[in-house]
Structure 1
Amino acid sequence: MIETYYAGAYWPARQESAEECARRALIFFTTVSRSDDFFARWFIPPKSRRHAPRALELSVPALQELFVQGRTRNDEGGVIEDLGFYLSSDNGMRPGKHQGDHCSLRIQCGCYAKPISNVCVLSLPDTGPHREHVLTGPMLSSVLRAMANAWEPDWAIATSHDHREMLTERVRTGTFVGWVMYFPRHRGPVPSLPEPVRVEPVEELGTLVTLTPERFTVSNPAHLELAAHVQQVLESAGLLTPIKP
């Protein structure tokens, strides 16, 4: 089985307008595109197979319109205000694109209905030529850095779905250690961590922690041992408390 990966940023209730969400989304798209050309073009999924996907226009007015269109509605068609705005996109909807060689993105923002979290989650390539150079510690650090600058989340992580499944109980109760993590300043300082863990600042916002520069996998006992040790250290430092509702 191929180990698949994702990157996600999470933050608690934060009431924001569609325009504010659009401005943050534009920061994310613009910043992540600087990491690699693979992230430069995005598409809006069609409503049915009869329609072709359309290119995502990266401007505040265009993104604002999409967020407004993505609002959650009740059975009568009325907008549920406190659930904020939703946007989905994909960078693989092009003719001749290798199946699986793409990212899908979902954003929920402006939600202030407790205890629902706001999220920006990027599903990473599971096959194809881009998988090898995207699934590296430095590249995923760049992705989380873009998420941190755009969304100012309470926590962000890039790791494999298999690793998350191994930590099912931990996932339900709070944050957890994965391949690459982001901690905002308000969670506190990151303590000293063993080699080969890399710790680097994200401007004045917080800190990135990368367990290993090579691909983190659940099939590597050394990776799991390192993650368990870092988990203990970060828990003792109070950095892995649940996201506040």
Structure 2
Amino acid sequence: MSERFYVGAYWGPRRETALECARRAEVFFSMLARCDPSFAQWYRGGRGAPLDLPGHPVRPEVAEWEQLFLRGMNRTDADGKVIEELGFTEFVWNAKKERTRVELHCGEYSPSGPGNTCLLYPPEEGAGRERLLCASVLAEVLTSVATAWEPDFAMASSTELVRLIQKRKREVRVGWLTYLSRRLGMVPPLPAPVHIEPVGALGWLLVLSPNLMTASNPEHVTFTARVRELLDRAGLIERPEPESVGE
């Protein structure tokens, strides 16, 4: 069975309005469109979508994303009241088959919530998957995520590799490619062939190998674990419990 790869970005409580999140989404999808041709158009669910399309086309505009986020606010089961502190949730995809899916959860400022995330799942098979599972493409995707959403950390890896490497429930996850915000601290020297490059003034992108890294390769697991240990010694792995954001 092939491993399931994904890009995941994570950040703590950050109170933002639907408009502020929409501005970030516009930047993100604009940058994402330059990473791969398949990222040029995205679609959402809902009744009445054209039968010949994957869903309702999403216009890459702030106004469109603001309305989507307002529609995706969390509500109570009992009376449908908006739970403002849990922020906004929306997901989109780019095709009927061999689709890439993006899930967004932003604007949350509750310390007890699931956390703010931007998740991208490439196709599970096909030519699109092979094209996207490339270090240079994923580096551009992570740069887009970091620039638009300013997460604490982000990574591109297989779910299986992350599970083998992660030691604590709450920690910075290290994968094939890893982004670390400057808010976490300074990145220590790391062994070859790790390539470290800055992402503007926001943080650093770590590419552990120019070639695909998998959980099925023991050498890949051992090397990723070694990098995680070095980052842990530098104080970059432990994540403190989130604090409330003031009203």
Q: Which amino acid aligns with 2:156?
A: A
2:162 paired with 1:195 = no
Residue pair 1:103, 1:122 contacting (<8 A) in 2 also: yes
Whole-Å separation in 1 of the counterparts to 2:165 and 2:222? 14
Secondary structure of 1:76's aligned partner: coil
Which one of 215, 220, 224 corresponds to residue 223 of structure 1? 220
CA spacing shift, 1:29–1:236, aligned 2, 3 Å: same
Whole-Å separation in 2 of the counterparts to 1:180 and 1:144? 8
Residue 115 (structure 1) shift? 3.0
Secondary structure of 2:35's aligned partner: coil
Residue 146 (structure 1) shift? 0.5
Residue 177 (structure 1) shift? 1.7
Which one of 68, 71, 76 corresponds to residue 69 of structure 1? 71
Secondary structure of 1:22's aligned partner: helix
CA spacing shift, 1:38–1:203, aligned 2, 3 Å: same
Residue 47 (structure 1) shift? 5.2
Which 4+ stretches in 1 moved above 6 angstroms? 48-52
> Which residue is 1:85 aligned to?
88
Query: What is the correspondence of 1:197-216 to structure 2 with a 5 Å cutoff?
Result: 197-216=194-213
Which one of 123, 128, 141 corresponds to residue 121 of structure 2? 123
Whole-Å separation in 2 of the counterparts to 1:27 and 1:49? 25
Question: Normalization by structure 2: what TM-score?
Answer: 0.91
> Which residue is 1:9 aligned to?
9
Residue 45 (structure 1) shift? 2.2
Any gaps of 5 or more consecutive residues in structure 2? 243-247
Whole-Å separation in 2 of the counterparts to 1:200 and 1:69? 38
> Which residue is 1:40 aligned to?
40
2:237 paired with 1:240 = yes
> Which residue is 2:22 aligned to?
22
Secondary structure of 2:81's aligned partner: coil
Residue pair 1:13, 1:115 contacting (<8 A) in 2 also: no
> Which residue is 1:96 aligned to?
none
Question: Normalization by structure 1: what TM-score?
Answer: 0.92
Residue pair 2:166, 2:173 contacting (<8 A) in 1 also: no
Moved more, 143-152 or 52-61: 52-61
Q: Which amino acid aligns with 2:117?
A: V
Residue pair 2:177, 2:207 contacting (<8 A) in 1 also: yes
> Which residue is 2:143 aligned to?
145
Residue pair 1:234, 1:240 contacting (<8 A) in 2 also: yes
Residue pair 1:182, 1:208 contacting (<8 A) in 2 also: yes
Q: Which amino acid aligns with 1:143?
A: V
> Which residue is 1:161 aligned to?
159
Residue pair 1:154, 1:243 contacting (<8 A) in 2 also: no
Secondary structure of 2:127's aligned partner: coil
Whole-Å separation in 2 of the counterparts to 1:70 and 1:200? 35
Whole-Å separation in 2 of the counterparts to 1:182 and 1:191? 14
2:171 paired with 1:174 = yes
Residue 244 (structure 1) shift? 4.8
Residue 188 (structure 1) shift? 1.5
Residue 187 (structure 1) shift? 1.2
How many residues align structurally? Answer: 238
Any gaps of 5 or more consecutive residues in structure 1? 94-98
Residue pair 1:43, 1:90 contacting (<8 A) in 2 also: yes
Whole-Å separation in 2 of the counterparts to 1:123 and 1:175? 19
Whole-Å separation in 1 of the counterparts to 2:38 and 2:190? 32
Deviations 1:4-58 (A, max 9, x none): 1010111111110000000000110001111111211100023599976111111
